[in-house]
Structure formats: C-alpha cells, structure tokens
Structure 1
Amino acid sequence: MLEKLENLFQTAFTTTYNAQDNNRYWFQTEDGRKFGIVKTALSNSEHNLLKTLFHPIETLNVEQNNTKNQQRWYDFLFNDAKEVPFLQDVKTLRFFYFYLKQPIDDFNSFQEAITGGFQQPIILMINETQGLIIDEKPQVVFDQESFNQLSDTLTSDFFVKIDSYIGQLHQVNHLLKEKFNHEFQCFNTIHRYANREKTITFYEALPLLMIHSPSFVKKDILSDLFVESIEGQEMLHTIQVFLQCNLNASLTAKKLYIHRNSLQYRLDKFIENTGIDIRSFANAAFVSLAMILLKSENYQ
C-alpha cells in the first residue's frame, strides 16, 4: 500500500517521520510504519479516506514549551538524536502514556500536578491531546490504584477525561528506543480499538493486542528484563510450575520439592527483576502468554 501511495504522490510522500513538520499529514499503518503526505497535495476526500485506512498522527510544535532535558528526551524518542538523555545512574525506567479528550489550557499547572505523583518525572506532550511520562526512578511494582487516583485528581481539577496506560519496567540500554517504539505502538492500537478501564497496564493490554492487532505481537515487544529473568532454567521451571498450580504457593513448593520460603524467595526475585507481581491473576496471565510467545518464536 505504501508503495502505491509513494508512486501516486511522489515527492509529496515520505516515510521519514518528523513530528515537528506541520506541512504534512502524518499517518501510521497497523504494523507501525509512519508516513507523511504534504497537505496541499491531498484533496479533502483523499484526506478523509486516508484517515479511515490509517491512524492519523497529530503534530505539535513542542520545542517552544520544552525544557532542555525534555527536548533531549523528545529528540531521542521521536527524532533521530543519537545522544542518550538518561544519566549514568539510571538503570531502569518506566513509560506512562496518557490521552486527553481535549487540550489542556494551563499545561504548566497540569505538569506540576503530575509531578507530585512521581519522584523525578519527565513529562512530554507528543501532540495537543497525547502525552508521555518518563519515570527515571520507578517503583519496581507500580501501584496502579495510586495512578488511578492521580487520574481522578487531574480529571476533576482540569475538567478533562484522561485515558492512561502503564508501561513495562525497562532496562536502560541501547535497545531502549526500540522497546519504547513497540510499547508506544501497542498502546496507540489499544487506545483506538479496545474498551478499557481508566488505567491499563501493559500486562493487561497484551491479550487485547492479540485480538485487535496480532501483527504487533512479537517477542521484541517484551521488556528485556522479563526475557532475561526466565533465561535461567531454575527460574523458568519455577514459574511454569507456579502457573500450572494456579498460583498456589503450597502446592508449587510441594511439586518442586522445596520449602515454601525458598519458593517465596524465587518469586520475590522474579518480581524484583521484572516489575511483574506474578501473584496477581492478570500479571500471571500475561506471563503465561509471554512465555508462549517466546516459545513460538523459537526462543531457547
């Protein structure tokens, strides 16, 4: 399809995404590829047709309101900047994504309100109604209820409906931008298609993604911290048996021939390494699906 569009619009068409280029309409395909077409090259009917076939990407001149650190993160995630924006002592982080029903008039106050819920958040607006929170000092297991309360506060204070999503705990390394892109596409897809609660975690989103856009569901979408945590045979076997025993710790310990305290130590280690509290049903369901996904892609 993109090849046909390129042949049709020629120099007005590009696949080099630039979020600050307001001279083009930007779109994203179901498999995550972005493209833009010069606005003057499109008729109204052509523009409306493209909006039904692809996901429109709104653009916003974000530079004017960004601090230096915010701009470094924006350039790293959305432009072609090579310099990493995070500090050396940052080992893990988590992305939070939010979508507003309408633009915020007082963004500075909105930003201050969000800051109160985190230790060192970096808040970016991707466009007028879509934003991103980067938590460089993340809790290992994030309290979803606390984030719901923050959303409620923002809704009541700023009179705007907010849909929010909590990303995975990510390792800070050279693959971070790639992991972000996968996760970003995941939540954009879920936001478009899924009936959702106020806040959805990535672990709750994966089954929805399998239904609505299975082409996105690949092992690369998973956090490296999760993949690495089950590389050891002992941990992998422990998690498999725990799932087979329907999260029953006593039965799991019995089947593994270990003391319950030893099992608890292994589960705590898994939670500490991944940020996934496997003792909850939703997270356990995610782990089960993720392990099937890894196995289906010939993961060893």
Structure 2
Amino acid sequence: MNTHLLQTLFPTGYIKSTYDKESSDLIIPIDNGFFYLSKQDISQREATLLTELMIKQPVTKVSNGHLWYDYLFNQVEMPTSSSYYRIIQIRIRKDATNKKMWLTHFSKLFDSIVDSFFIDETSAILVEQQTTILYSTEDIRAMLLTLEGEFLIQATAFVGKFQQVSPTFITCFKEEQTIFNQFFSHFHPNDVFVFEEVALEYLTKKAIKESALMTNLYQSTIFDEETVLMIKTLWTEQGNMTSSAKKLYTHRNTLQYKLDKFSEQTGISLKNMTELTLCYLMILSL
C-alpha cells in the first residue's frame, strides 16, 4: 500500500517526516516519513489490519524522531520503497542559535525533502526524494545565499547521488561522508559541490602517494607557487594557451616561454594533455 492509496482511503490522515512518540494517533512508516491516522477515524478492525500489515518495526527503534537518522547511523531497517533518494550534507561555518530554523527554511526551498536534522553542532543532513524537479548545484548555491541574508548563516553543501534504498545505500553514504570531510575546506562558504568535482583527486591521491616513481618525479620537478598556478590554470582551460594567458594576466608569448623553460628543466611538456594531466594530479595529490 503506497502513500497515495493511504491518503485516498484515509483522507483525514496526514504525513510528517518525524515520529512523535507522544501522539495518540496510529503511526504508519511510509516512504517519506510517517502517516498519522486518528484512531477515532477508523474501526478497531482497520487499526488491527494496518498494524499487522504495515507497521514493520517497533517505533521504539526510531531515535530522536528521525527514521532516516536511524537508517543512516543506527542500521535500522527502512520500509521498502521504489523511490530514489539523495543525501545532501551541510556544514555551517559556525554554531548558531537559529540553526534549526535555518535548516527548516532551507528544506522548504526544495520540492521534496523527506527528512532533515543536525547530527552535531555544525553538520546537518537533508534527505531529498527524487521528483521531476531536479535542483542543480547552482540552484542550491542560490538557496544558501538567499538564506544567509536572513539568518546570517554561511554553509557548504555536498550533494550526493540519487539511489534506491538498498544494501549499498549506506556504503555509498559513508563514502560520501568521507569525501565531504576530506574536501570541505577546499570550498568557500555558501558553495556547493558534487563528487565529479573532486573525483580525480579523491580516486588517485592514495595511489599516487604510494608510487615511488611518482614521488621521485614530484621531488625532481620544480613546483613553486607560480608553476602550480600555471598548471592548474592550463588544466582548467583544457590546455588552451590564449585563455590560460588571459586568466594568468600574462602575455601568450610569456606563457609560451615559461612552458618551454619548464620542459627544458623537467622533460615534461605541459602542451601535451597527458603530461599536463600527470602534473595536475601530482600537485593535487602530493
């Protein structure tokens, strides 16, 4: 029985993302939280059937009223669902007394946030159910900027991938946590990033550090501040000399000279995308 059918059969019922242990209503776990139904609106037979058929786990397993918190952190089983969800991890720059109100307002800017909560003083989780409305990183960045003016709270967000609840969901979430913790400091306040933006560094960092050849190459290559900036700019501009020179505020011929000089000293040509990629990975990972 899905949420829509429950709402059709019991129109006086309502949905909440949290579990209220003080409520006298019959509380049924559903895809996007809990369905509350007054016992006065149903017969004893209906209450018994709903309890036996739809309440799959003791509600005492839900701590702090958040089913998704227990699923992500306490290994509590989730009701079966065909929906797709993604986890948006948030970290505010400093603790704030109005952070819960800020999180509530932030959640309401989305079409389908099924749960949201803080897991410590500065870290929060939003669980978004996939709908026809897809929010980009630019959309979410605009939301953060909008709320900063009202609440004076700055935050950084890491947007996970949509996936179904399955045995691999928690594994992927834990890896997303690792990525967020590792790269959080790389981004400015009110910035938003996704896995693709840090994938190269995340996936290659350990392998490069463990390579004796890469370590020796790094140590024998001149990577001063100017050279590092040059390599990063060339990489961002996909090796384009004209746009790279413009970004570096230098003449194209001057950049050409520096590339030739670097090649003479190291034997590495930054005009070659493969060798440029190699140098880019070195400066990211070592």
- Pair in the same fold by TM > 0.5: no
TM-score range, shorter chain: 0.3 to 0.5
TM-score where L is the length of structure 1: 0.43
TM-score where L is the length of structure 2: 0.45
